[in-house]
Structure 1
């Protein structure tokens, strides 16, 4: 790997990396606004796609002296008709709607907030008149901005797990700016499309975000949330979708409404849910929606006339410790913990739970990770230390990188030991002692929504203690990578002020101390402990009669008649990877890496 600069890898969700800012790849030619030579964006909407850096056009023929300057610096048009606009020292996101050959409206929700007119595009330049209702009006000339492309390509070329298997990431394309590189980016003016073009065919996880603050908030479990947690599933012979409520977050809007675990909905705002509309209806920018509820009747899903209005609270932070309790049966003291995300900032709370388990001298533990999509490696390691305690300093997990990084880290394995493996620990990051149970056996409840860091716990503990898995196969995410790779412009980790893009690419396989990492199809319970959740019998979480908990308790107590387990009538299958789950299925760490001289 040849670089003329220092690059940092900064592990944040999985890993944070950096690259230095090279010279932007832009077209030097400027196009002035010419109303007689207007591009037809109705016939060719692809002309406007991409990110455009803007300069105010001061020519008298284009601006009235009374116009208020929008101070716009960048506008970005995406293929899904979304736009981002930086103006008046703020950044907004919305949808655009082409209305004729040279004009489009800018919308936020259903409200038109402005328009772009007199659009003319010539190669890598654009000119137009921007007007934001009741705020400003100004003509601009812009150049297509390819720095984001450069950032994407350099990061993937250095760190991507499958770099050697993607021809367009070959070192032969270097240097950036070469004829091969220019040919590569010409077909993809939009950064998102360029990123997707570079992904390996087996890569289901790498992603790009135009706003890294969204990623940083997700690490902490912060988002716009109404408190309703649900799983979406396809049903019937068409593209219909149902949602089933899994649990309600404490202190949320949903906690105040007449809705509970096991309730089913098939519509939103009067529209039947399907594969084409569920993202916009449930995960769009709207803070309010109304669920149209349904129920099973004679083996059919039918609307029941009940409608539930819900409102999302912005920057809502959920506590991943959903339930913790002690169940006593005979001489057994059984700790039960439902933990729903390895989120930043909750390890002290988790340690307090294990302090309570310690003082009550539990002799069995049931760890419920059925809805835990992943999170921080650090929290997963801390949890493993709380369950055990007798393996401090031993290898919990290993990182298996691409050939470039493997060679680099192995060149000095002592200095880069933290890049190659993560060990059991007996202390939290703040130095507090971990409250360890020193168990030699643990029951872990899993489902198809147990992913990434949850699977790391199962796989990492298995070489050391008896891990008894209960429920359904896990998701099968055996790879990790950065939640946020930033475009740093110097060795002080200064983020590029010209854009807010970050990428999350898979950079390593996650293996246990015995080098096992081949669980892309999920980790499976033994046959007698396999059970899928049932739409007709979801039960109450934390209650001994809840089917998956009951199955674990029966195995512990060895009284098969204690809790009756019914075969699922409507098993929760055909689950959809919705945007919220995709965001959570992470394997991350906040640990800094030392600077790497990529020679």
Structure 2
């Protein structure tokens, strides 16, 4: 997963409302020696007083001598799960997660009195993928230690903090049982751009498009255009979009997808409402304006041309569905029927942009990621900080066999297909007891605004 660095020169849509400067401090601010905690924390305080959504309830300035990350945390509103600060030269300040370090996600379950970590998602071109991990494999040992009821959460934390991961995996199918025991060693590394995967499923004379999107990257509109033009050419009449492992990203990318999906919209139709503090004010953006924020090569009209013959969309979601993915769910509702299937989403209903301390020439300083705006749809619906409840609640882990994404037997997709075709076939009773791990906020991204 990549961070997207956005300069303030690109925030053209907001210049008519207010002017922000990342490096300017109040003229009355004291002057401290460069590089000291006081120097950094004074800057942090001034930026937060200017930009932070909840700036009026911030604590007093307090001691400026403490470590900047701790100082930043002390400024946050109680219950703020979104805002964070990182330093590029201090890796320990960045969030620790399997997804960011190795490129995969897991959850835990108990089956026949034994504990397993099931691999839920593997990013393409990631350390995990390059070492052969795939969805559905079960982890039985971490650093030689078998998982059990008393240590699975401790071993998970060990995995997230490691730079090299040594695990034992096993495969499982209902037909063959457990097989293919392997020892796997993975070094922490980079994960690169993700593809948009799709397939067409034909069932009861219906052509159903299934699209899996793992992140909303800058410049993804071209990929969406190509994908949905191909689906349109295949004459799909129903659509399932899988966002269950999509932690968010770029708002213009999310707008591009929304333009393709929503029926009967115009370029000037209202897409998103931002509400900030008294400095930020309120900003409304149409579909076209939101797209133009970071997608200059693809037009609104081109994206509309790829709109398939649909008037509703099925969205697969879960606790990893956050930020721009939740925006898709909430902000399409005024324009089309949105049927969500899965688990409650993460609950990130705020937007922001990175604020970099670039006061020292040639040296990168702290970068702040504060919550700056609450976001709403065109009907002023939002306030989903506790997550969005799915219309159809389904746990994707019910059996020890977990099918690949896009497979018609996969739990959430099967539920969507049954809803589309009217199939009322009974599902199997769960045979596992799940122990999900809380999502790290570093696995989710802000809606980056421009």
Q: TM-score range by the shorter chain?
A: 0.7 to 0.9
Structure 2 residue aligned with 1:595? none
Structure 1 distance, partners of 2:257, 2:101, is: 26
8 Å contact kept, 1:319–1:346: no
Structure 2 residue aligned with 1:328? 202
1:253 deviates by 4.7
Structure 2 distance, partners of 1:341, 1:275, is: 26
8 Å contact kept, 2:110–2:434: no
Kindly indicate whether residue 83 of structure 2 is the aligned counterpart of residue 206 of structure 1: yes
Structure 1 residue aligned with 2:32? 26
- Structure that is richer in helix per residue: 2
Structure 1 residue aligned with 2:384? 519
1:325 deviates by 0.8
8 Å contact kept, 1:339–1:367: yes
SS in 2 for 1:167: coil
Assess, with a 3 A threshold, how the Cα gap between structure 1 residues 326 and 257 changes in structure 2: closer, same or farther.
same
Structure 2 distance, partners of 1:488, 1:575, is: 36
1:508 pairs, out of 373, 379, 382, with 373
1:399 deviates by 0.7
Written as runs of structure 1 = structure 2, the 5 A alignment for 1:370-519 is: 370-388=244-262, 390-392=264-266, 393-406=268-281, 420-425=283-288, 428-432=295-299, 433-434=302-303, 435-437=306-308, 439-482=310-353, 484-489=354-359, 497-519=362-384
Give the unaligned 5+ runs of structure 1: 1-6, 28-51, 54-143, 169-180, 297-301, 410-419, 490-494, 592-599
1:551 deviates by 0.6
8 Å contact kept, 1:327–1:336: yes
Structure 1 distance, partners of 2:256, 2:435, is: 32
Structure 1 distance, partners of 2:407, 2:109, is: 28
Structure 2 residue aligned with 1:340? 214
Structure 2 distance, partners of 1:315, 1:589, is: 21
SS in 2 for 1:265: strand
Structure 1 distance, partners of 2:279, 2:120, is: 43
SS in 2 for 1:372: coil
8 Å contact kept, 2:85–2:367: yes
8 Å contact kept, 2:109–2:434: no
Structure 1 distance, partners of 2:239, 2:89, is: 38
Assess, with a 3 A threshold, how the Cα gap between structure 1 residues 258 and 523 changes in structure 2: closer, same or farther.
same
SS in 2 for 1:385: helix
- Structure that is richer in strand per residue: 1
Q: How many residues align?
A: 411
1:560 deviates by 1.8
2:421 pairs, out of 547, 550, 557, with 557
CA displacement, residues 423-471 of structure 1 (integer Å, 9 cap, x when unaligned): 2238842134212226321111111111111110000000111111111
Structure 1 residue aligned with 2:432? 570
8 Å contact kept, 1:325–1:337: yes
2:446 pairs, out of 587, 591, 598, with 587
8 Å contact kept, 1:232–1:241: no
TM-score between both structures, scaled by the size of structure 1:
0.61
1:205 deviates by 1.3
Structure 2 distance, partners of 1:242, 1:508, is: 40
SS in 2 for 1:509: strand
8 Å contact kept, 1:341–1:373: yes
8 Å contact kept, 1:375–1:588: yes
RMSD: 3.6
Structure 2 distance, partners of 1:466, 1:209, is: 39
Give the unaligned 5+ runs of structure 2: 1-6, 173-177
Assess, with a 3 A threshold, how the Cα gap between structure 1 residues 476 and 588 changes in structure 2: closer, same or farther.
closer
TM-score between both structures, scaled by the size of structure 2:
0.80
8 Å contact kept, 1:375–1:586: yes
SS in 1 for 2:442: helix
Assess, with a 3 A threshold, how the Cα gap between structure 1 residues 317 and 257 changes in structure 2: closer, same or farther.
closer
SS in 1 for 2:381: coil
Structure 2 residue aligned with 1:548? 412
Structure 2 distance, partners of 1:567, 1:9, is: 55
Kindly indicate whether residue 374 of structure 2 is the aligned counterpart of residue 532 of structure 1: no
8 Å contact kept, 1:381–1:423: no
Please identify the structure whose Cα radius of gyration is greater: 1
Assess, with a 3 A threshold, how the Cα gap between structure 1 residues 224 and 577 changes in structure 2: closer, same or farther.
closer
Assess, with a 3 A threshold, how the Cα gap between structure 1 residues 366 and 391 changes in structure 2: closer, same or farther.
same
SS in 1 for 2:274: strand
1:252 deviates by 4.4
Structure 2 distance, partners of 1:212, 1:367, is: 38
1:191 deviates by 0.6
8 Å contact kept, 1:320–1:343: no
Structure 2 distance, partners of 1:243, 1:281, is: 11
